[in-house]
Amino acid sequence: MDKILEALVTSSHPLPVKRAIVRKVVEAAEKEVTEEQCQALYVLTTRLILLGKDAFERQTGQQVQESYARYHRDEFARFVNKDFVLGLLQQGYSSLDRRDPLLIDFLHSCLRLLISCPAMLEVAAALQNEVLRIVCERPAPALCSRLAVLLTDFPQCVPREKGHGLLFCQQLVRTMGYFQCTASQENELREYVTQVNRVSALLQGIWKAEPAALLPSLQEVFAIISSTDPAFEPSISLASLVQHIPLQMITVLIKSLTADPNVKDASMTKALCRMIDWLSWPLANHVDTWVIALLKGLASVQKFTILIDVTLLKIELVFSRLWYPIVRQGALVVLSHMLLSFQHSPEAFHLVVPHAVQLVQSVRSDGLPTSKAFLLQFTELIHCMMYQYSGFPDLYDSILEAIKDLPMPSEEKIKLILNQSAWTSQSNLFAPGLMHLPGKSETGKTGLVNLGNTCYMNSVIQTLFMATDFRRHVLSLQLNGSNTLMKKLQLLFAFLAHTQRAAYAPRNFFEASRPPWFTVGSQQDCSEYLRFLLDRLHEEEKAVRALVEAKPKPSETCASDESTASRQAPGAAHTPPASSSAGDEQTLVERMFGGRLSTGIRCLRCHSVSEKEEPFTDLSLAFCPPQVQHSPPRGAFNGSSDSPVVENGRVTRGVGPDTEWQSSSPPSHVGRSRPPVILPELVDYLLAPEILEEENCYFCERCSSLQPAERVVRVVAAPEYLIVTLLRFSYDAARQLRRKILDDVRIPLHMSLPVHQTLKQPPSHQQEAASSCVLPTTNSPDSGENQAKKLKQSQVEEEGDERVDTSTGLGKASVNGEGSMMDRPREDENGTEQRTISYVLTSVVMHSGMSSESGHYYTYGRNMSAVDYEDGSATAVSPSYLSPSNGEQEGLGTSSQSVKASSTSEVEGSHDPSSRDWILFNDSRVTFTTFHSVQNVTSRFPKDTAYVLVYRKQGSGGACEGETNGLKLGVEPPLQKELMDAITKDNKLYLQEQELNARARALQAASASCSFRPNGSDDNEPPGSCGPSGGGGGGGFNTVSRLVF
């Protein structure tokens, strides 16, 4: 029969004829056949099955062998014996290699025919050892999957004796770690996934039969994925095992894993990264659950370095999985946890922000039934992150536009989500090291690393750096060898101007300039820090001069040399010459930021006047009460009121903490009770005359009694740089809370300030001469808290004709579009004249948040050009000094009306044709922006409000105009050798760091050492963090430690 069959399959007869003859051969199996004939047929059919040239030969061999094995089972059992099976698996068959999957398929079919034979026991025992050997040889996915199918159908062939079962599971897991997918077509990829699923299904069956093998198998999985061997990259196919692990084991396994002291941080980092890669495995259930469980487990044991490194390394990969619907849901769950828990810094969120708009647009157009639900979840996540890290309007505008038609979660829900997600909420054990910074900004400017709640300092430093004249004078000082605060500021400015780093960490300057009452790691008031810093620099320079003056005077030659040096280097250890002018004797801070105010009180009975002058470094503007805020500012207010006062070098106007109108301020950033105001209205309010009467009557020395009086505050000396602070942090007496006033203030690009100068001594007035210009010391941490005052309108009829019409910008002291005065100067009977000084905006410090103890500071700065310093001559106007009906209101109206004329042409950025003048400094992030963005940021982001503004004087006569102290306008001073050496050394160090990082990335050695842990007093704070609860102006968290990032 074997000869007939062999001749048939090799003949040239038509295929139908051959098939008909094969059917006859199959039917003949029922007849009696000798054992020799059976063995010959089994040999022939085996050859046809394994080596058949075509499908007909293989199919014929299969049909004949099955039919004869069914009727002649004993003969077939003697054919498929132990030696035959071992020979196939160890030596192969003819030209077939022993690893050929066809051999496994053939054995599988033979075992099905031997299922009820006693010989099956012997064959199964032989297969147990061979199967273990095959698995240890790391077979390819195709062979391993065929073997898995065989063992699934015949579990008696699975190794079990002498501990071989556990070893088999471990080796099979390790074999899966070597599975590599070489598929390039979709059908090939599907076949690969099917093969992997067969192997994982085998393991699932073994774990169910032998639960004791599960834990060692999982330990083997972790050993594989935690390997730091650069030559071995485990296969993603291990993800298919996760769905077979009982979820009730999560707690025990994660706790055991994270508490194991033998697991190094580098290994844990590798393992977590590879588990996150598993999100790409299609149809793998519960991968997201295990990834999140491990993230939470690491947070519980404070392995924050691993979490930071892994999040920054993998967040973009997780986000990219959202493009694929088959793995989208799991990826979204992991992405949400990673972003919401990473609350110490916006860096992770900002890595995915650039891709969010494109993703939303793609999901909207894919037409899948799950897309709508995904968009709702994704939008909620985005709103939570923008709430947490507010203060980045340049990044978020496009996202808000893309999701504007999707519902926004309530503020209470956002707070709940953030509070439940943070892994930094119970610990401050983050290192404040350098973040993974991108390349230097296209602006050419350098950012400042947030050292842990130091955005208040960073914003002030960038503001001073953008004060061009101040920066150039600081860099030109000869301070070699000194250890003063000015020297540290000079070094910091030099690094900001010349370092190759994208962001510089100002640790030394922070330690030297931090006020003693500022708690390290806590958020502080940036205006308070600015005043303290300027005062320190001022007093330090005075102290140095005093020490130098106490020394014996040198010879004339030396004195001449010192005179030159003094003019070139204010603040250096040189004595100013005796012939120096008053301007030369001033400190650098006085020359740049110092102004003077005159407070005059006139008795309304005898008309005697008392005057007093005081210095100031900033004007602190209170918000007008509701009843007067949007009416034209009046010449006088009566009722219970206080005048503007100069306290700690700042000018403010306000009353006590029980002010009624403050209690009605909006409790939330969402709504405002009043429309926007313009900045000059607040200046007018500060300088408005006031009537002192009733309980506030003035004690007149001439009348020797309490008398009604009029009090007026005037600027008598304008600073080169006018610092304006908006008093946004008020005290709510009803709720006993300090809250933020969220009124939108429109900021003009140009503004005019009325300045009254004395030409002659008034003959009949009492004088209270102020002492020499000394900036008072700021010694209270609460000095920044000010209240706006409650006022009553009066004398409306008398003064209405004298005021400027703020709605049209027209008045007696009107200005043109360039800010130049058009009225000629007038001198009054008291020998004073009023000049309107024009200023141009140079920088704005924004506060994002709900209180001074929370939120985030960032700065808008402007690159000043020579055109910005030019202005028409400031023509003087001479109103009566104290009379409200003789020109006083004209002076007060000039700031408002100057804005009306100038801001109209500037609001749309007409002065900024290149759109490159304005720069946004946000800690390490530095980007180009526009003046339009500066003006509209509060309308887009209600918690982001202007707080500190700096204006630069325009026109001639400035202390820094033209060439002063050897500095030419528009020219940066040459860098001194000591500064250049320090920068060169740091730049070399930076290049070395970049090279080491490149090597580390090439070796894929992501480990704990990749996270910087510089020394410093803030080592217990997270990098760029503003506290346990996160930051970014989340607003409204009722926790004492609520800080900012």
State how far the Cα of 464 lies from the Cα of 503, in Å rounded to an integer: 17
Angle among Cα 620, 626, 629 to the nearest 5 degrees reads 60
Question: How many Cβ atoms sit within 10 Å of the Cβ of residue 433?
Answer: 21
Q: How far apart are the first and last CA of the chain?
A: 88
Residue labelled with tokens 């580390």: 1000
Amino acid at 827: E
Please give the pLDDT value at position 117: 82
State how far the Cα of 749 lies from the Cα of 417, in Å rounded to an integer: 40
State how far the Cα of 920 lies from the Cα of 926, in Å rounded to an integer: 6
Contacts of 331 (CB under 8 A, 6+ apart): 279, 288, 318, 319, 321, 322, 324
Question: How many Cβ atoms sit within 10 Å of the Cβ of residue 1007?
Answer: 18
Provide mean pLDDT across the span 645-668. Answer: 42
State how far the Cα of 672 lies from the Cα of 941, in Å rounded to an integer: 12
**DSSP conformation letters of 855-900:** SEEEEEEE---HHHH------EE---SS-TTTTHHHHHHHHHHHHH
State how far the Cα of 959 lies from the Cα of 953, in Å rounded to an integer: 10
Contacts of 978 (CB under 8 A, 6+ apart): 480
Q: Which residues pair with 96 in a beta bridge?
A: 93
Question: For residue 833, what is the enclosing H or E element?
Answer: strand 832-848
Secondary structure class of 88 (helix, strand, coil): helix
The least confident of 79-88, 150-159, 391-400, 890-899 is: 890-899
Please give the pLDDT value at position 1016: 36
Helices 15-27 & 2-10, crossing angle to 10 degrees?
170
Instruction: Name the pLDDT band for 21 (thresholds 50, 70, 90).
Output: confident
Provide mean pLDDT across the span 956-984. Answer: 64
Contacts of 941 (CB under 8 A, 6+ apart): 390, 391, 393, 396, 848
**Residue 1006 backbone dihedrals phi, psi, to 5 degrees:** -70, 110
Contact by Cβ (8 Å): 710, 689: yes
Please give the pLDDT value at position 335: 95
- Nearest Cα neighbor of 853 from 614, 526, 566 is 526
State how far the Cα of 244 lies from the Cα of 413, in Å rounded to an integer: 35
- Is 182 exposed, middle or buried (CB count within 10 Å of its CB: 0-12, 13-18, 19+)? exposed
State how far the Cα of 227 lies from the Cα of 239, in Å rounded to an integer: 16
- Nearest Cα neighbor of 879 from 718, 756, 709 is 756
Provide mean pLDDT across the span 346-352. Answer: 89
Please give the pLDDT value at position 603: 92
143 vs 1039, higher pLDDT: 143
Bridge-based pairing of strands 650-652 and 618-621 is parallel
Contact by Cβ (8 Å): 297, 268: no
Please give the pLDDT value at position 354: 92
The least confident of 275-289, 353-367, 605-619, 1025-1039 is: 1025-1039
Q: Which two tokens stand for residue 825?
A: 């100067």
Secondary structure class of 409 (helix, strand, coil): coil
Sign of the C-alpha dihedral computed for residues 223, 226, 229 and 234 taken in this order: positive
Please give the pLDDT value at position 1001: 62
**Residue 725 backbone dihedrals phi, psi, to 5 degrees:** -115, 125
In this predicted model, what pLDDT tens digit does every residue of 423-466 receive, in sequence order? Answer: 644 333 333 343 444 567 888 899 999 998 899 999 999 999 99
Does pLDDT of 897 surpass 60? no
Alpha carbon separation from 139 to 99, 100, 166 (Å, rounded): 8, 10, 19
- Nearest Cα neighbor of 630 from 793, 494, 485 is 793
**Residue 877 backbone dihedrals phi, psi, to 5 degrees:** -125, 140
State how far the Cα of 87 lies from the Cα of 85, in Å rounded to an integer: 5
Q: Which residues pair with 611 in a beta bridge?
A: 600, 767
Is 856 catalytic? The answer is: yes
- Nearest Cα neighbor of 569 from 846, 976, 1041 is 976
Contact by Cβ (8 Å): 925, 814: no
Q: Which residues pair with 757 in a beta bridge?
A: 833
Q: How many residues does the chain have?
A: 1045
The least confident of 80-94, 769-783, 936-950 is: 769-783
Q: Which residues pair with 709 in a beta bridge?
A: 603, 692
Secondary structure class of 867 (helix, strand, coil): helix
234 vs 789, higher pLDDT: 234
Bridge-based pairing of strands 918-922 and 832-848 is unpaired
416: Cα separation from own chain's centroid? 21
Contact by Cβ (8 Å): 878, 827: yes
Is 700 catalytic? The answer is: no
In this predicted model, what pLDDT tens digit does every residue of 541-555 receive, in sequence order? Answer: 999 888 888 876 655
Instruction: Name the pLDDT band for 778 (thresholds 50, 70, 90).
Output: very low
Buried b (16+ CB within 10 A) or exposed e, 574-587: bbbeeeeeeeeebb
Q: Given 383, 538, 669, 856, which residue is catalytic?
A: 856
State how far the Cα of 827 lies from the Cα of 881, in Å rounded to an integer: 10
Q: How many CA atoms lie within 13 A of 803 on its CB side?
A: 22
Please give the pLDDT value at position 740: 84
Please give the pLDDT value at position 866: 57
Instruction: Name the pLDDT band for 468 (thresholds 50, 70, 90).
Output: very high
Radius of gyration of the chain (CA): 41
State how far the Cα of 301 lies from the Cα of 623, in Å rounded to an integer: 49
Question: How many Cβ atoms sit within 10 Å of the Cβ of residue 655?
Answer: 18
Angle among Cα 269, 272, 274 to the nearest 5 degrees reads 110
Sign of the C-alpha dihedral computed for residues 121, 122, 126 and 129 taken in this order: positive
**Residue 818 backbone dihedrals phi, psi, to 5 degrees:** -90, 0
Please give the pLDDT value at position 391: 74
**DSSP conformation letters of 364-384:** HHS--TTHHHHHHHHHHHHHH
Alpha helices in 763-817 (DSSP H): 796-799
Average confidence score pLDDT of the chain:
75
- Nearest Cα neighbor of 715 from 773, 750, 757 is 757
Contact by Cβ (8 Å): 128, 163: no
Q: Which two tokens stand for residue 226?
A: 């935690």
The least confident of 123-137, 507-521, 801-815 is: 801-815
**DSSP conformation letters of 324-362:** -TTTHHHHHHHHHHHHHH--S-SHHHHHHHHHHHHHHHH
Please give the pLDDT value at position 416: 85
Does pLDDT of 660 surpass 70? no
What's the DSSP call for residue 96? B
What's the DSSP call for residue 67? H
Contacts of 344 (CB under 8 A, 6+ apart): 424, 430, 1022, 1023, 1024, 1025, 1030, 1045
Does pLDDT of 172 surpass 90? yes
1041 vs 512, higher pLDDT: 512
Contacts of 293 (CB under 8 A, 6+ apart): 250, 251, 254
In this predicted model, what pLDDT tens digit does every residue of 195-247 receive, in sequence order? Answer: 999 999 999 999 999 988 999 999 899 999 999 988 889 999 999 998 888 88
pTM over 0.75: no
Buried b (16+ CB within 10 A) or exposed e, 54-77: eeebbebbbbbbbbbbeebeebbb
Category of 964 on φ-ψ map: left (φ > 0), alpha (ψ -120 to 50) or beta: beta
Does pLDDT of 516 surpass 70? yes
Q: Given 38, 110, 455, 1026, which residue is catalytic?
A: 455
- Nearest Cα neighbor of 624 from 527, 741, 738 is 741
Does pLDDT of 839 surpass 90? yes
State how far the Cα of 9 lies from the Cα of 456, in Å rounded to an integer: 90
Question: How many Cβ atoms sit within 10 Å of the Cβ of residue 641?
Answer: 21
In 622-773, which ranges are E strands? 637-638, 645-647, 650-652, 677-678, 690-692, 698-700, 705-707, 709-717, 721-726, 729-732, 737-740, 745-746, 750-758, 766-768
Please give the pLDDT value at position 722: 95
Does pLDDT of 413 surpass 50? yes
Instruction: Name the pLDDT band for 917 (thresholds 50, 70, 90).
Output: confident
